[in-house]
Chains A and B, each alone.
Chain A
Amino acid sequence: MNHGKYRLIIPFLAPALLLYAVFVLYPYASAVKNSFYQWRGVSANKTYIGLDNYRRLWDDDNFRIALSHNAQLLIVLPLVTISLAMLFAALFVQGGRGVRGADFYRVVFFFPQVMSVVIVGVLWQYIYHPNSGILNSGLRAIGLASFAKPWLGSAQYALWAVAAVVIWQSVGFYMVLFVAGMQSIPWDFYEAARLDGASRFAQFKDITLPLLWENIRVAIIYIAIAALDLFTIVAVMTEGKPNRASDVVARFMYEQAFTNSMFGYASAIGVVLLILTFCLAILLLILSRRERLEF
């Protein structure tokens, strides 16, 4: 098997390694370097300014606003998405027998996840449209006119209107993830618990939750990392408007780079966001560690 193996290994690895080094590794390294420069896109005018970009970032109110939005979403998105996904998964599995129409629900719930975020964003922009959207006109039609709001145009609701779309799009994915986990829990566990008189809630808390923990943990980390990005949905739906009320860090960074040509500053924002993402992932991994239950 080893005869002349390097004649295979080297040419087989070369294309992927080359592309990966040039278009992935180099840009990341270069972004870190750029964050120490003042640079408006013309190479002659690239001046080293040490940590100035980071200091400036610390005092930038617009950055803080965007960051605080990410922080709020970091709490709300995992909580709501996972609760809803768990609820649907529990209803769906029904203690091993499966609900009627299971295949239909599965196909429907999962669908938004494979849909392009741009389509979803544009579509919901019109659903939320103050006059011609189905949300407000529907509310008016059933006599709830006072609940009709200028969703994306209002500083109070814009961020949460976008968050609702993010949840809407991803619940099905996490439901399928949890269903897979729940179906692997032996049915006898529930049977035994029921004979002992355990309530449905007790069964959920003492059997489902611990045995599903590995899946929940993955979901928390995935959603948390996604909550620190959200560039596309915000860029498409609101561009951070009105008055930055729905801005997030990734979109703020894009604006600094490609609207204001402050490439060094934008790189510093990117590096900060990367560090935050990394720390968060590690923190969550440690906090969510539990003894793995074998069954």
Chain B
Amino acid sequence: MSAEPTIQATADDFEVAEANYRTDKRALFSGENLFGGFSQILLIIWALMVILPFAWMIMTAFKTDPEIIFHPWAWPESFQWNNFSRAWEEARIGSYFKNTLIVVSCSVFLTLLFSSMTAYVLARFDFPGNRWIFYMFMAGLMFPVFLALVPLFFLVRDFNNLFGLTNNLPALILVYVAYSLPFSVFFLTSFFKSLPSELAEAAIVDGASHYRTFFGVMLPLARPGLLAIGIFNVLGQWNQFILPLVLNPNPDTYLLTQGLAFLAIQQGYQNDYSALFAALVITMIPILVVYILFQRKLEAGLTAGALKG
């Protein structure tokens, strides 16, 4: 009695195994796996096309100039760390780095402060003109910056004269804030709308002023939204080129992107390729760090912005 089922089972097993083998074979040769292998190959090729240029850039930053010119694919014979100190000191990347850090930190802070105040009011209060103000900010998302360049150039000059400023950076900070407002207001308005209103109402009922309610209750609640839009602005402003190019022509206050473009042009005369590549790496590092730390958030924010906007 006991043998028969065993044999039966083995036969079944055999059949199952054979069926599996058949499907495996079919999958292997005609269907899913082939497609899977094919897609892996294409995806790897594109991944290499993305990684290789950056890897080459980092490798090149450690080479000597003759190595860069004559052996572009070769590994550096010895690592030239002094390329980085030369870029930092002589090519003034250090001072451009400091200027960029000052401008971006001030303008991101002000952007977050002003846009969250505006967004909170637009999202939570009914008053005549509410919609108009919102649409006016949205219009700023449509306009290309280059149309405003000429008037902005003269405006910043007049602004500096008016306040007796010899340094362009304060005006540049305000311009950065102004051009970051549309997207930040848009993003934070929908964020404030999505927050529960009970907490704010409870705070008001408890006798907190509108100001206390905003800074003490609503802003902490909005932290995820502020973080997302903050990272977005840090990257956008760190990478900004056209505004400083036009509004900040003084080499002493150059920002990183300006400094890089300037070095790349100067390059033609001085042939200091290695310092230029070191400068590229130095400029890339903060972006890389922010990207690795906040990759998911950034991706979500950027694509959500695209779909809603």
Contact = CB atoms under 8 A, between A and B. Distances in A.
Interface stretch (A47-55, A63-71, A97-105): A97-105
Contacts of B72: 129, 132-134, 137
A15 B117 contact: yes
18 contacts: A12-B214, A13-B133, A19-B181, A23-B152, A23-B179, A27-B149, A88-B46, A94-B39, A99-B36, A109-B47, A114-B298, A122-B261, A129-B72, A132-B69, A134-B72, A172-B50, A225-B144, A270-B146
Contacts of B175: 23
Nearest to A137: B72
A80 to B, nearest CB: 13
B9 interface: no
A279 interface: no
Interface in B73-119: 73, 114-115, 117-118
Contacts of B49: 168
Contacts of B178: 19-20, 22-24
Interface residues of A, number: 99
Interface in A149-177: 168, 171-173, 176-177
**B69, B210, B276: most-surrounded residue (chain A CB, <10 A):** B210
Contacts, number: 247
B147 interface: yes
A13 B155 CA distance: 23
Contact of A116 (B56, B146, B238): B238
A1 interface: yes
B117 A94 contact: no
B235 to A, nearest CB: 5
B254 interface: no
Nearest to B246: A258
A118 B239 contact: yes
A28 B307 contact: no
B274 to A, nearest CB: 12
A236 B73 contact: no
Interface stretch (A2-10, A202-210, A287-295): A2-10
A171 B303 CA distance: 13
B53 interface: yes
B3 interface: no
Interface of B: 35-36, 38-40, 42-43, 46-47, 49-54, 56-57, 60, 68-70, 72-73, 114-115, 117-118, 120-121, 125, 127, 133, 136-137, 140, 142-144, 146-155, 174-175, 177-179, 181-182, 185, 200-201, 204, 210-211, 214, 235, 238-239, 241-242, 245-246, 257, 260-261, 264, 273, 276-277, 280, 283-284, 287, 290-291, 295, 298-299, 302-303, 306-307
A228 B121 CA distance: 35
Contacts of A100: 36, 40
Give the 6 A-B residue pairs with the shortest CB-CB distance, closest first.
Answer: A91-B39, A23-B178, A116-B239, A27-B148, A27-B151, A30-B151
Contact of B144 (A7, A41, A116, A277): A277
B43 to A, nearest CB: 5
A13 B118 contact: yes
Contacts of B214: 8, 12
Contacts of B40: 99-101
Given A15-B114, A26-B151, A30-B151, A274 B133 contact: no
Contact of B257 (A34, A116, A124): A116
Interface in A98-146: 99-101, 104-119, 122-127, 129, 131-134, 137-138, 141
A253 B153 CA distance: 14
